[in-house]
Amino acid sequence: MIEFEDVTKQYPDGTMAVDSLSLRIPSNEITVFVGPSGCGKTTSLRMINRTIERTSGRISIDGDDINAGDPVSLRRGIGYVIQHAGLFPHKTVVDNVATVPKLLGWDKRKTRATAMELLERVGLDPKLAERYPAQLSGGQQQRVGVARALAADPKIMLMDEPFSAVDPIVRHQLQEELLRLQRDIGKTIVFVTHDIDEAIKLGDNVAVLKVGGKLAQFAPPAELLAHPADEFVESFVGQDRGYRALTFREAEGLELAPVPAELVVDDAGKPTGWQHNGEVLPLGAVFRRGDSLRAALDAVLTSPIGQGVCVDESGKALGTIDQAGLAGALRS
Ligand SMILES: Nc1ncnc2c1ncn2[C@@H]1O[C@H](COP(=O)(O)OP(=O)(O)OP(=O)(O)O)[C@@H](O)[C@H]1O
The reply to whether ligand 1 has any atom less than 6 angstroms from the CB of 272 is: no
Ligand 1 centroid distance, CA of 66 (Å): 22
Arithmetic mean of pLDDT, 39-66: 96
CA atoms of 133 and 141, how far apart (whole Å): 6
Whether 121 shows a pLDDT value over 80: the answer reads yes
CB pairs under 8 A, 24+ apart, for 101-110?
101/151, 101/152, 104/76, 104/152
Q: 217: helix, coil or strand? A: strand
* pTM of the predicted protein model: 0.84
Mean pLDDT of the chain: 91
Rounded to whole angstroms, the Cα distance separating 307 from 58 reads 55
Q: What is the CA radius of gyration of the chain?
A: 23
Q: What is the pLDDT of residue 123?
A: 87
**Taking the alpha carbons of 236, 169, 96, 112 in that order, is the dihedral positive or negative?**
positive
Q: What is the pLDDT of residues 82-107, one digit of tens each?
A: 887 688 999 999 999 998 888 778 88
Q: Is 154 in the pocket of ligand 1 (CB under 6 A)?
A: no
40 C-beta closer than 6 A to ligand 1 = yes
Q: With a 6 A CB cut-off, is 205 part of the ligand 1 pocket?
A: no
Q: Which atom of ligand 1 is nearest to the CA of 213?
A: 14
Q: Phi and psi dihedrals of 100, rounded to 5?
A: -70, -45
CA of 213 to the centre of ligand 1 (A): 9
pLDDT for position 152: 81
**Rounded CA gap, 159 and 149, in Å?**
9
pLDDT band of residue 174 (cuts 50, 70, 90) is: confident
Regarding the beta carbon of 14 and ligand 1, being less than 6 Å apart is answered no
CA distances in angstroms from 158 to 13, 50, 105, 194, 240, listed in the order given: 26, 12, 23, 15, 29
Establish whether residue 138 lines the binding site of ligand 1, counting it when its CB lies within 6 angstroms of any ligand atom: no
233-242, 261-270, 288-297, range with the lowest pLDDT = 233-242
Q: Is 37 in the pocket of ligand 1 (CB under 6 A)?
A: yes
Is ligand 1 within 6 A of the CB of residue 193?
Answer: no
State the pLDDT at residue 205: 97
Q: Check pocket membership of 277 for ligand 1, CB cut-off 6 A.
A: no
Name which of 123, 124, 147, 148 is nearest 135 in CA terms.
124
- Our answer on whether the CB atom of 43 is closer than 6 Å to any ligand 1 atom is yes
The pLDDT assigned to 328 comes to 82
Residue type, 314: S
The span from the CA of 66 to the CA of 55, in Å, is 13
Ligand 1, atom nearest to 39 Cα: 21
As a 3-state breakdown, the chain gives helix, strand, coil percent values, each rounded to 5, of 40, 25, 35
Q: What is the per-residue pLDDT across 256-267, written as a single tens digit (0 to 9) for each?
A: 999 999 999 999
Contact criterion met (CB below 8 Å) for 126 and 119: yes
| Nearest atom, ligand 1, residue 160 CA | 22
Exposed (0-12), middle (13-18) or buried (19+): which is 19, by Cβ within 10 Å?
middle
Higher pLDDT, 281 or 167: 281
Query: What are the chain's domains?
Result: 2-248 (3.40.50.300), 251-331 (3.10.580.10)
pLDDT, tens digit (0-9, with 9 covering 90-100), for 290-303: 898 999 999 999 99
| pLDDT greater than 80 at residue 165 | no
- Cβ 15 under 6 angstroms from ligand 1: yes
Q: Whose CA is nearest to atom 10 of ligand 1?
A: 17
Report the DSSP beta bridge partners of residue 219. 206
CA of 51 to the centre of ligand 1 (A): 14
Do 196 and 217 touch, CB atoms closer than 8 A? no
Question: Is the CB of residue 194 less than 8 Å from the CB of residue 161?
Answer: yes
**Region class of 210: left (phi > 0), else alpha (psi between -120 and 50), else beta:** beta
- Per-residue pLDDT, averaged over 127-131, amounts to 93
**Burial per residue of 236-266, b for 16 or more beta-carbon CB atoms within 10 angstroms, e otherwise:** bbeeebeebbbbbbebeebebeebeeebbbe
Among the listed residues 22, 19, 25, 23, the one whose alpha carbon sits nearest the alpha carbon of residue 55: 19
Q: Which of 4-13, 140-149, 159-168, 305-314 is predicted least confidently? A: 159-168
Strands 271-276 and 263-265: antiparallel
At 317 the pLDDT is 94
* Ligand 1 centroid from CA 42, angstroms: 7
Which pLDDT score, from 0 to 100, does residue 212 have?
Answer: 86
Ligand 1 centroid vs 281 CA: distance in angstroms?
Answer: 53
